[in-house]
Amino acid sequence: MTLRKMAIIAALPLLIACSGKKAEEKSSPLTPREQLLALLDSASTSKTVFFGHHDDTVYGHSWELEEGRSDILEIVGDYPAVMSWDLGGIEADDSLNLDGVPFERISREVVAQDERGGINTFSWHLHNPVNGGDAWDVSDTTIVAQIAHNPETTERFREQVRKAARFFNSLTDSSGDKVGVIFRPWHEHNGNWFWWGQDFASDEDFRFLWTEMRRVMDEEGADNVVYAYSPDRVDSEKEYLHRYPGDKYVDILGIDIYHLGGEAGVEDYREAANRGLGIVEKLAMEKGKRAAFTETGLESINMRGWYTQVLLPLMQRHHSLGYVVVWRNAPDKPAHFYAPYPGHIEAADFLNFKHNATTGFASDAHGFAPKYRKAART
Ligand code: BMA
């Protein structure tokens, strides 16, 4: 045996140990946050925009809380790639959220969506911590200031956030691992319809909602959460960033823009959406963030071909977006729906939308599963 060979043999255990370690590192699963972000990156680079629907599997236009149903599934044979949910009510220890959905059911649906390879996102229409008024109660315009400056209110606010954090922490899959979710609090803050809206807070106090919320979420160990920022329509980058809390608080740059006024409003919508999404894409690129169309839709879809003629061209033009979410199909308000349902005249158009290469549904998201996603979930 040559000296050289002997040296190699002597070094073998070390080499094996090293390569073993390397292999282990390489195949170790991503954290839930990393998995979610990687999935959005895959969509973005492959010019796929995932389709999402609020409360998709918990009720539809003419049914409520049945298991296994979805208006989208019943039209196109696939689930949305993104399920949107709302945490409103968790802060008051309610068992049902503000739209009557049991939180226990939402938890199960989040896990089911994760198991099918899709994404979950949460908004939060929370009651204020001063007088318990709902998200739309703007009669007291000092709520945000009180949260920021009145120690007792600050503590009540922290407690609200702790309850949200505990809910996120409780979202675990069948292997006991936490499920990564998107959280999109303080949405549409540049409007004046929520107590955290533009005219009801100073810039600094509004930012406190974000920074303190995030501090408490981190303190509670809610490390499975990806954060989305989503103002309503804006005209400029400056306006978009007006109350931006800072890069360290936000992972996804989003925007909420609805098509208002039926067919007569189509140009206004196209213009506002092209402008807003252009801003979101540009800033996301510059800041190394993900981009999304966090809420949109045409209530009642009272225009022919809306999905393929209006929404799809926006998605094709702004293909770096990770996803687009349309709002809910309310079971108790017949005109309050944003996705077609079986029998609706736009169901056929929606099927064409689904078959277009740009749009991604749950099975597409499953195909994009990040390389190091846990074996159990691939
Ligand atoms: C609004 C409407 C309301 C609903 C709220 C929160 O846009 O859909 O009916 O309660 O969102 O989901």
- Substitution site in 328, 333, 336, 338 for ligand 1 pocket (most atoms within 8 Å of beta carbon): 328
Give the pLDDT confidence of 224-274 residue by residue, as tens digits. 999 999 999 999 999 999 999 999 999 999 999 999 999 999 999 999 999
Number of the ligand 1 atom closest to the C-alpha atom of 99: 10
With bands split at pLDDT 50, 70 and 90, how would you rate the model's confidence at 372?
low
- pLDDT of 203: 98
pTM (2 d.p.): 0.92
- pLDDT of 25: 44
Average pLDDT, the chain: 92
Give the pLDDT confidence of 128-167 residue by residue, as tens digits. 999 999 999 999 999 999 999 999 999 999 999 999 999 9
Closest residue by CA, ligand 1 atom 8: 328
With bands split at pLDDT 50, 70 and 90, how would you rate the model's confidence at 11?
very low
Number of the ligand 1 atom closest to the C-alpha atom of 86: 12
Phi and psi at 272, nearest 5°, equal -65, -40
For 145, residues 6+ apart whose C-beta sits below 8 A from its C-beta are 201, 202, 205
With bands split at pLDDT 50, 70 and 90, how would you rate the model's confidence at 28?
low
Joined together, the tokens standing for residue 293 give 């169309």
Find out whether the beta carbon of 125 lies less than 6 Å from any atom of ligand 1.
yes
Give the pLDDT confidence of 68-101 residue by residue, as tens digits. 999 999 999 999 999 999 999 999 999 999 999 9
Find out whether the beta carbon of 86 lies less than 6 Å from any atom of ligand 1.
yes
Find out whether the beta carbon of 187 lies less than 6 Å from any atom of ligand 1.
no
Residue 1 has pLDDT above 90, yes or no: no
Find out whether the beta carbon of 188 lies less than 6 Å from any atom of ligand 1.
no
Q: How far is the CA of 307 from the centre of ligand 1 (A)?
A: 21
- pLDDT of 29: 83
Find out whether the beta carbon of 126 lies less than 6 Å from any atom of ligand 1.
no
Q: How far is the CA of 167 from the centre of ligand 1 (A)?
A: 21
- pLDDT of 10: 41
Give the pLDDT confidence of 295-344 residue by residue, as tens digits. 999 999 999 999 999 999 999 999 999 999 999 999 999 999 999 999 99
Span 43-58, average pLDDT: 97
Q: How far is the CA of 338 from the centre of ligand 1 (A)?
A: 12
3-state SS of the chain? CCHHHHHHHHHHHHHHHHHHHHHHHHHCCCCHHHHHHHHHHHHHHCCCEEEEEECCCCEECCEECCCCCCHHHHHHCCCECEEEEECCCHHHCCCECCCCCEHHHHHHHHHHHHHCCCEEEEECCCCCCCCCCCCCCCCCCCHHHHHHHCHHHHHHHHHHHHHHHHHHHCCECCCCCECCEEEECCCCCCCCCCCCCHHHCCHHHHHHHHHHHHHHHHHCCCCCEEEEECCECCCCHHHHCCCCCCHHHCCEEEEECCECCHHHHHHHHHHHHHHHHHHHHHHHHHHCCEEEEEEECEHHHCCCCHHHHHHHHHHHHCCCEEEEEECCCCCCCCCCCCCCCCCCCCHHHHHHHHHCCCEEEHHHHHHCCCCCCCHHHC
Find out whether the beta carbon of 98 lies less than 6 Å from any atom of ligand 1.
yes
Please give the share of the chain, as a percent, with pLDDT higher than 90.
Answer: 89
Find out whether the beta carbon of 99 lies less than 6 Å from any atom of ligand 1.
yes
Q: How far is the CA of 340 from the centre of ligand 1 (A)?
A: 17
- pLDDT of 3: 37
